[in-house]
């Protein structure tokens, strides 16, 4: 057995022992990074976790890398060795000049020449990366690649185990509070947040961001503020970075001396890095900021009724734009008539029209439901203009049983349009009774009562910028009642 193979064999033995230890996830990944670096004769290594949207990478363990290198800024998975996302091992032999390196200037300042990225794969899904670094340019042998793949597999198991532990803790906490555990708790491995916060206020802030489904990165970048000769003498590391808002956040309490100190640092950062968007916030300031960006402009009573946010304002807008692009492509060269049923569809329909790039005409219908021996649907407001021979797109806020939609489609089809398709923001398949085809769908949702973005409860919540799940104990309302108020 060669010396290289011997090091790799010993390294895998050590990783197996580490993985089976009682260490925290952070310390376990740090130890694995050290073992991998030593076994491959590298200067550094780190374990990275991919976020839920597969956009950013977060360090969960590292060895041999400076704080400045680790906190050089948010690591964009689509810009930093993007081929790794597809499950490929990527090798960079000269980092300062390679376009696949997101921060080449930092690599140059830290004398990093060689970088290799190895996908961390769970099942068929890439959930993170293992990266190694060297100050010397080199190549990877096939034996080294096999060792790195095996090490990455250990990391996948560890991250999966940590996710399961986090999920179990959430259930235990819910039981401790004597509340029902929602069946909608998600167990996707990329929902893991293995962050160790410095202060309790940061954990509370992160929880608030999670509620609104605002993606966040904790302390991703350190900004040099002062130097002594060629050496950095002072750095400032903001607490959070919010990718969707392209904003750094530094939290503070109301203590005047702390506010003064942090204000001084923030001011210096703005002077030296004018392109950086940073805010110094108290909790009260943050709630105002949420309102400004369309997340939290509702009263406290309404917030209390929402069990969790299913889709954030940003997620909705991103999906609406994607649907509009597809509609524009499918109907290229045509004029279409968009028809909506009042009132819940108003928000979705208004936003959708803004992004459709072909000529459109808009019309509305209104319907009522009557309950006797069975549910009866009646059209109380019909179309203003004829649709015969025209391309018609029926737009819905939510489709569940499909019974109402089936009735409305039959009514529209009787007018003999050239074509008739359906676009729905939400699809609740669990309740489907009628066999209706949905040509464009925003999101699938579980069998829960949802509010926001046009959907209401007793006339409220329509103006919420997100779609949230109404708590089952809120107002004693049964889920079935959502069927009888204009929902399809």
Q: Is the pLDDT of residue 300 over 90?
A: no
- Mean pLDDT, rounded, of the chain: 82
Q: Is the pLDDT of residue 187 over 50?
A: no
Per-residue pLDDT, 6:
84
Per-residue pLDDT, 344:
82
Query: How confident is residue 62, by pLDDT bands cut at 50, 70 and 90?
Result: very high
Query: How confident is residue 190, by pLDDT bands cut at 50, 70 and 90?
Result: very low
Query: How confident is residue 123, by pLDDT bands cut at 50, 70 and 90?
Result: confident
Per-residue pLDDT, 183:
36
What whole-number distance in Å separates Cα of residue 152 and Cα of residue 171?
29
**Known catalytic residue: 160?**
no
Per-residue pLDDT, 481:
44
Per-residue pLDDT, 327:
96
Task: List CB contacts of 487: < 8 A, sequence separation 6 or more.
Answer: 344, 397, 398, 400, 404
- Chain centroid to Cα 75, Å, comes to 15
State mean pLDDT over 59-71: 90
- Look up the pTM and report it: 0.56
Per-residue pLDDT, 104:
93
State mean pLDDT over 374-381: 71
For 410-433, what is each residue's pLDDT tens digit? 999 999 999 999 999 999 988 888
Q: Is the pLDDT of residue 169 over 60?
A: no
Query: How confident is residue 293, by pLDDT bands cut at 50, 70 and 90?
Result: low
Per-residue pLDDT, 131:
97
User: What is the domain class of 311-484 according to CATH?
Assistant: alpha beta
Query: By the 8 A CB rule, do 420 and 440 touch?
Result: no
Ranges of CATH 3.40.960 domains, the chain: 197-297
Bigger pLDDT: 334 vs 256:
334
Q: Does domain 3-166 have CATH number 3.40.50.1980?
A: no
Report the candidate in 60, 80, 56 with the shortest Cα–Cα distance to residue 160: 60
Q: Is the pLDDT of residue 175 over 60?
A: no
Query: By the 8 A CB rule, do 434 and 403 touch?
Result: yes
For 223-236, what is each residue's pLDDT tens digit? 999 988 888 888 99
Residue of 400, 427, 447, 473 with catalytic role:
400
CATH of span 197-297: 3.40.960
Q: Could you report how far apart the first and last alpha carbons of the chain are, in Å?
A: 69
Query: By the 8 A CB rule, do 201 and 251 touch?
Result: yes
């Amino acid at each position: 057995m060669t010396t290289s193979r011997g090091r790799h064999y010993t390294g895998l033995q050590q990783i197996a022992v580490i993985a089976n230890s009682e260490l925290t996830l952070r310390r376990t990944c740090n130890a694995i990074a050290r073992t991998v670096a030593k076994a491959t004769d590298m200067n550094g290594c780190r374990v990275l976790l991919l976020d839920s949207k597969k956009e950013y990478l977060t360090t969960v363990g590292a060895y041999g890398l400076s704080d400045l290198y680790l906190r050089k800024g948010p690591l964009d998975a689509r810009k930093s060795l993007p081929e790794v996302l597809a499950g490929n091992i990527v090798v960079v032999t000269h980092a300062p000049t390679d376009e696949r390196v997101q921060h080449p200037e930092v690599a140059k300042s830290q004398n990093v020449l060689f970088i290799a990225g190895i996908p961390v794969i769970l099942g068929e899904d890439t959930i993170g990366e293992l990266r190694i670094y060297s100050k010397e340019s080199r190549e990877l042998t096939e034996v080294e690649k096999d060792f790195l793949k095996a090490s990455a597999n250990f990391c996948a198991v560890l991250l999966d185990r940590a996710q399961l532990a986090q999920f179990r803790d959430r259930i235990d906490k819910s039981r401790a509070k004597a509340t029902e555990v929602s069946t909608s708790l998600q167990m996707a491995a990329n929902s893991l947040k293995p962050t160790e916060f410095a202060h309790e206020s940061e954990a509370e802030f992160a929880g608030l961001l999670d509620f609104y489904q605002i993606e966040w990165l904790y302390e991703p970048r350190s900004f040099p503020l002062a130097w002594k000769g060629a050496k950095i003498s002072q750095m400032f590391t903001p607490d959070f970075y919010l990718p969707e808002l392209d904003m750094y956040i530094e939290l503070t309490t109301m203590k005047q001396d702390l506010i003064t100190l942090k204000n001084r640092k923030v001011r210096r950062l703005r002077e030296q890095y004018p392109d950086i968007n940073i805010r110094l916030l108290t909790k009260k300031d943050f709630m105002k900021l949420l309102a400004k960006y369309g997340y939290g402009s509702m009263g406290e009573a309404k917030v209390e009724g929402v069990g969790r946010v299913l889709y954030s304002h940003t997620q909705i807008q991103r999906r609406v734009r994607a649907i509009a692009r597809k509609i524009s492509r499918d109907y290229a060269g045509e004029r279409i008539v968009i028809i909506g049923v009042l009132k819940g569809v108003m928000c979705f329909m208004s936003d959708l029209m803004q992004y459709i790039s072909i000529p459109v005409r808009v019309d509305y219908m209104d319907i009522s439901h009557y309950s006797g021996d069975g549910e009866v649907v009646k059209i109380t407001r019909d179309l203003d203009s004829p649709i015969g021979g025209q391309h018609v797109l029926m737009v819905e806020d939510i489709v569940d049983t499909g019974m109402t939609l089936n009735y409305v489609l039959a009514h529209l089809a009787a007018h003999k349009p050239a074509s008739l398709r359906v676009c729905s923001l939400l699809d609740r398949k669990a309740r489907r009774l009628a066999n209706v085809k949905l040509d464009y769908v925003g999101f699938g949702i579980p069998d829960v009562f949802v509010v926001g973005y046009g959907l209401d409860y007793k006339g409220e919540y329509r103006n919420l910028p997100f779609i949230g799940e109404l708590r089952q104990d809120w107002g004693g309302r049964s889920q079935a009642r959502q069927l009888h108020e204009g929902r399809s």
